[in-house]
Chain A
Amino acid sequence: MDSLFKVGKLMSLFNNLRLNTSPNIFKYSQFNRQFSVTTANNDLMEFFDVKKNWGVEEIRSGRSWRKDDLRLKSNTDLHKLWYVLLKERNMLLTMEQECKDQARLFPSPERLDKVEDSMENLECVVRERNVAYHKLETGETGERPGKMETSAFGLKYYYKMCEYPIPKFMNKKWTEKYKFFKYDKDVEAFLLKYREKIYIERRRKRARDFNHVIGLMNRFPNMDMDALQQQYPDVDIKKAKNSRKYGGHFAPK
């Protein structure tokens, strides 16, 4: 009996809650929701901003589309959004060019960056989905294939592969364009010097950092050593403290 009473009380509480909250919910979430719809006039005037933004000093805009926003959208939505962004970018480019020609300041140029950022993110999300689909269906990523190759000068680079209508041995143009590493005395000599250069550069950097750390320790004796070690991970601080340069010039008492 007691529990039943409790349940009844709870129910009434819920009822009250619902009664109290429902008008607010409707008010703020469904009917009063603000959304903007661009008018699709499909005209050459789409290359220009809306008339109220002509000759204005500042135009305020929202943030760009993030990847997390875009991941929630369906493929068709993304496809539509791409064209919206494309048109927006064209519009901004047109306005920028006109401002430049008329020797005026282009208002809020960050809009262009925002649009480009959004487009990049969108393409990235589409690419993610594409890779997921391909992996599921074929077990491969479906990305452009490539591999590490050694160039004619013996340096490694990422070679992006391409489809050709004729086989490799017949493709004279390709063989002329792409020369890969083949043993050569001069290339060996070049590589020796090249590596020596890199080695010397690295050694100099090591010595420079070592001396710099000693200098820092001399100037700031109460420095945080962990932070220093984090910033210069290659420097042995214990060794630096043993150096004769550490400690400054002063006569022992």
Chain B
Amino acid sequence: MSTRWYPIYQKGSPQLRVFLPNFWMKLVRPTHKIPSNVVQFACSMEMTKFDVKNYMEKIYNVKCVDVRTRIHMPKTRREVTAGYVIKDDDVKYAYVIMPKGVEFKFPDLFEESKEKEDEDHEKALKQAKEGFDQFLSKNKDRENMPGWFTV
């Protein structure tokens, strides 16, 4: 049988094994406040709690005490011009509970780039101010003169 096609399980037959799992999981920022040893994942809709547990333990070598899942239905909204109702795809969230003492904090990926952006912004602002001051000082003798008027 091909990779994605498994024979039906009957009592006594060998255990079904997945050789090339195509489940995906993504670590997401927790939607609610959760304990530090709990991690929230979004995962494939087909995954069960056992799948999540095996996935974490076998592929990522992360021990988990318990797994809880829920299916989140996103809020419906209306299309702005046509007015029909839009509903995004459902998401399955898995909460992986790690043993006591193991901690995970979602890292801030944009901390450094944020600082750099702030610096750039300040620089640009300073430059603009300087430019304006220059303009004022250049034109201080030409009071009440239209901007387009030059000699």
Contacts and interface: CB of A to CB of B under 8 A. Distances in A.
Interface of A: 42-48, 54-56, 79, 82-83, 86-87, 89-90, 93-95, 97-98, 101-102, 104, 119, 122-123, 126-127, 130-131, 142-144, 163-165
Given A43-B62, A54-B113, A144 B28 contact: no
A102 B107 CA distance: 12
Contact of A94 (B7, B8, B28, B110): B28
Classify the interface of chain A: helix, strand, loop or mixed. helix
Nearest to B27: A47
B76 interface: no
Top 9 A-B residue pairs of the complex, sorted by shortest distance between their CB atoms = A55-B113, A42-B61, A163-B8, A47-B27, A93-B26, A94-B26, A144-B5, A54-B109, A55-B110
Contact of B26 (A90, A143, A164): A90
Contacts of B3: 123, 126-127, 130
B109 A48 contact: yes
Given A44-B39, A54-B110, A94-B27, A119 B8 contact: no
Nearest to A47: B27
Contacts of A56: 113
Contacts of A142: 1-2
A119 B114 CA distance: 35
Interface string B14-37: 000001111011111100000000
B10 interface: yes
A140 to B, nearest CB: 10
A94 B69 CA distance: 18
B104 interface: yes
Given A45-B107, A55-B111, A164-B8, 13 more contacts: A44-B104, A48-B27, A54-B112, A55-B113, A56-B113, A83-B59, A94-B26, A94-B27, A95-B109, A97-B42, A98-B29, A126-B20, A143-B5
Given A83-B59, A142-B1, A55 B26 contact: no
B60 interface: yes
A98 B1 CA distance: 38
Contacts of B20: 79, 82, 122-123, 126
B60 A89 contact: no
B39 A144 contact: no
Interface in B29-62: 29, 39, 42, 59-62
Contacts of B109: 48, 54-55, 95, 98, 102
Contact of B59 (A79, A86, A131): A86
Contacts of A83: 59
19 contacts: A43-B62, A44-B27, A44-B39, A44-B60, A44-B62, A54-B113, A55-B111, A87-B59, A97-B28, A97-B42, A98-B28, A104-B110, A119-B22, A127-B3, A130-B2, A142-B1, A143-B2, A165-B8, A165-B10
A229 to B, nearest CB: 42
